[in-house]
Structure 1
Amino acid sequence: MDSPHARGGVVTETQALRPHAEDAFSAELQALAAVDDRPRPERWRLSPWAVATYLLGDTLSDGTVITPKYVGPRRIVEVAVSTLATDRALLLLGVPGTAKTWVSEHLAAAVSGDSTLLVQGTAGTSEEAIRYGWNYAQLLAHGPHRGALVPSPVMRAMAEGLTARVEELTRIPADVQDTLITVLSEKTLPIPELGEEAQAVRGFNLIATANDRDRGVNELSSALRRRFNTVVLPLPASAEAEVDIVSRRVDQLGRSLDLPPAPDGLDEIRRVVTVFRELREGVTDDGRTKVKSPSGTLSTAEAISVVTGGLSLAAHFGDGMLRAGDVAAGILGAVVRDPAADQVVWQEYLETVVRERDGWQDFYRACREVSA
């Protein structure tokens, strides 16, 4: 019998490894739209209040539970949403792993119902990725004309009054970044080959994400930075908040990968988060012992990856219960990025902190085994 993929090649929501936010949470978005009686900016699917509710979570008047997409200060979300309701673009800034991409995607899904108008920033991103390209067969056959023009995601968002996204803006070369200046300030995109310009319609806006911790970062020009309202996404304020974030995302990822839920896995999640926070902040939770920090960021996103990998190990090569041995190798890989310097930091942390901590002997032995 043919597989669903063989019959037409259409990937449905249930087949997609990672559905877009507007598909994965379509029921919540529809429920919010049904009860949302507040004013909506033009071409917005929801009001600013409903967009913030979608991100932060709540129980609606009809009993529908809206799950939190972002766990953090409410004011940060409110400022981000209100920015999109103005003519200012939004820049989500933060260290790696602070959910910038996640928040960007869910904002676009709630505002426009489409989070796919995306430019992924890399060192090789060209102006065409932000402006437009050409169908060269059409160009050679008929010369420059509208039919030969291939719009970028930004150009499409301008034409349809939707929200465009630019991920990792600071990884894009500086001269290409500045392509956005006219788009954001004049809300137009010149097409000199045709002697025309594309004008943005009401509803258009842009969300960019950036961090200044990664290598290969290109600083934004002051002219471009002025076109954005910058919102800084902080690391989780407390260990419990970070445990909650990791638990939620691991549960979502585990279900999408058909991994069985691990009973009592919360204890290992809490230990992973504790290790990451202590090494990140350079001091133990009780404030009594200073520790050295490794070269990596040890972000919440990396903690999610470590625990998800541990669940896979437990499911496929263990008894299904998440244990210290399942997360130890993932922690080692996250901490020791520089084999020379970070290995010393990790060994010192193991011997001075983990070894002496009550109830952590199994974790210490597992980490020692993979570190040997």
Structure 2
Amino acid sequence: MATEPTAEPTAGSAAGSTAGSGAHPAPVLRQHAEDAFAAELAALAAQDDRPRPERWRLSPWAVATYLTGGELPDGTVVTPKYIGPRRIVEVAVTTLATDRALLLLGVPGTAKTWVSEHLAAAISGDSTLLVQGTAGTPEEAVRYGWNYAQLLAHGPSHDALVPSPVMRAMADGRIARVEELTRIPADVQDSLITILSEKTLPVPELGSEIQAVRGFNLIATANDRDRGVNELSSALRRRFNTVVLPLPATLEEEVEIVTRRVGQLGRSLDLPELPGGAEQIRRVVTVFRELRAGLTADGRTKVKTPGGTLSTAEAISVVTNGLALATHFGDGVLRAGDVTDGILGAVVRDPVADRQVWREYLEGVVREREGWKDFYRAAREVGA
């Protein structure tokens, strides 16, 4: 399972609009991975003496270390971006060093997007060559489009061509990313087949083609709950090596992930660390894990499962929102009441069936759990 720590933006970082002449650039809310972790990437590059594939910024070993964390010979600490089996990362990195594209598959909240961003940042130094998959994604987003003013004025030309992120990655030998591949219509998906198999992108209007240079590859992500939406064709699936990102294996692993991410998000939002945080994080994670599994942590009681995913990402959101509530409207201590509203919103997606599941869990499990009386009372007060 991945963790998604975000470095705190600093004044003067690459930013959006400025107000008035001579104004300092506003700090961005979220930096790209290659900017947020530039110091770690530079330290790895300086001490990386292993073979690097052509146009890679780091060796495969260094890329895996960047994602999983470690300490370098000079004492530099590389923070983990992914908490889970290192072997999963090694397989993903190795895939990108071959001629096969990489498909990251998993349930919502397993940080597929985060892992793909960090892989692209470590390999190419640029994680922005991104195609966001939706039901309305056109073929132009994967292949190329046209500047219609130029096209009408002068006809098809290289100046009128608007390259897609994939075309730019091919020309420059970098990593392209496609998010939510199975959300993209099947005919648009299949425009990737020639790109991935022949490593070329024909431009018939110009009688030419773009050939991928060494260093090019593609990372796609897909939600395995989207099966049946726009299934990949067998021809396209063969062009990918699939790596499944699992949910956290243990309670302690998931607590670590949520704690790390909430801490980073809190700093970026100027939220202080509050007393009670560790206890409430453990409670939120425990509730989510038990409802996901349909079984209490001690294995003694079966519980019904709601319709939602109750992912680690949702747990992070619940706790972060709780921190904001405690900071701005509370007494400066993160309490059960600050997180129960968020838990209710995450669990109860179906107002009838899921609410019944939540009530049975509260009365059958939480009510009898030692040390959870405050959580039980807070959950009842928010309408459970």
Give TM class, smaller chain: over 0.9
Query: Unaligned regions of 5+ residues in structure 2, if any?
Result: 1-15
Looking at structure 1, the residues matched to 275 and 18 of structure 2 have their Cα atoms a distance apart, in angstroms, of: 34
State the AA in 2 paired with 1:5. T
| Residue 143 of structure 2: aligned partner | 131
1:263 is displaced (CA, Å) by 2.5
Shift in alpha-carbon separation, 1:42–1:215, aligned structure 2, 3 A: closer
Structure 1 residues 12-161: aligned runs within 5 Å: 15-161=27-173
Is 2:260 aligned against 1:248? yes
Deviations, residues 10-61 of structure 1 (Å, cap 9, x unaligned)? 995x711010000000000001011001010000000000000000000111
1:148 is displaced (CA, Å) by 0.2
1:128 is displaced (CA, Å) by 0.4
Looking at structure 1, the residues matched to 88 and 79 of structure 2 have their Cα atoms a distance apart, in angstroms, of: 18
Looking at structure 2, the residues matched to 145 and 9 of structure 1 have their Cα atoms a distance apart, in angstroms, of: 39
1:215 is displaced (CA, Å) by 8.1
Is 2:249 aligned against 1:237? yes
Query: Counterpart of 2:224 in 1: which secondary structure?
Result: coil
Structure 1 residues 272-283: aligned runs within 5 Å: 272-283=284-295
Looking at structure 2, the residues matched to 341 and 216 of structure 1 have their Cα atoms a distance apart, in angstroms, of: 24
| Residue 309 of structure 1: aligned partner | 321
Looking at structure 1, the residues matched to 343 and 195 of structure 2 have their Cα atoms a distance apart, in angstroms, of: 43
| Residue 174 of structure 1: aligned partner | 186
Shift in alpha-carbon separation, 1:135–1:297, aligned structure 2, 3 A: same
Looking at structure 2, the residues matched to 9 and 206 of structure 1 have their Cα atoms a distance apart, in angstroms, of: 40
State the AA in 2 paired with 1:42. E
Q: 2:277 aligns with which of 247, 265, 271?
A: 265
| Residue 362 of structure 1: aligned partner | 374
Aligned residues: 369
Query: Counterpart of 1:41 in 2: which secondary structure?
Result: coil
Shift in alpha-carbon separation, 1:273–1:11, aligned structure 2, 3 A: farther
What is the TM-score with the length of structure 1 in the denominator? 0.97
State the AA in 2 paired with 1:327. V
Is 2:237 aligned against 1:225? yes
Query: Counterpart of 2:333 in 1: which secondary structure?
Result: coil
State the AA in 2 paired with 1:6. A
| Residue 8 of structure 2: aligned partner | none
Looking at structure 2, the residues matched to 125 and 227 of structure 1 have their Cα atoms a distance apart, in angstroms, of: 21
1:216 is displaced (CA, Å) by 7.5
Is 2:221 aligned against 1:209? yes
Query: Unaligned regions of 5+ residues in structure 1, if any?
Result: none
Looking at structure 2, the residues matched to 73 and 19 of structure 1 have their Cα atoms a distance apart, in angstroms, of: 26
| Residue 200 of structure 1: aligned partner | 212
Query: Counterpart of 2:178 in 1: which secondary structure?
Result: strand
Contact 1:171–1:216 at 8 Å: present in 2 too?
Answer: no
CA RMSD of superposed structures (Å): 1.5
Query: Counterpart of 2:61 in 1: which secondary structure?
Result: helix
What is the TM-score with the length of structure 2 in the denominator? 0.94
List, as ranges, runs of 4+ consecutive aligned residues in structure 1 with deviation greater than 4 Å.
7-12
1:217 is displaced (CA, Å) by 2.6
Looking at structure 2, the residues matched to 361 and 74 of structure 1 have their Cα atoms a distance apart, in angstroms, of: 39
Query: Counterpart of 1:166 in 2: which secondary structure?
Result: strand
- Percentage of identical aligned residues: 82
| Residue 5 of structure 1: aligned partner | 18
State the AA in 2 paired with 1:357. R
1:4 is displaced (CA, Å) by 7.5
Contact 2:182–2:227 at 8 Å: present in 1 too?
Answer: no
Deviations, residues 308-331 of structure 1 (Å, cap 9, x unaligned)? 110110111012221100000000
State the AA in 2 paired with 1:313. L
Deviations, residues 44-97 of structure 1 (Å, cap 9, x unaligned)? 000000000000000111111100000011100000000000010000000000
Query: Counterpart of 1:302 in 2: which secondary structure?
Result: helix
Looking at structure 2, the residues matched to 312 and 9 of structure 1 have their Cα atoms a distance apart, in angstroms, of: 33
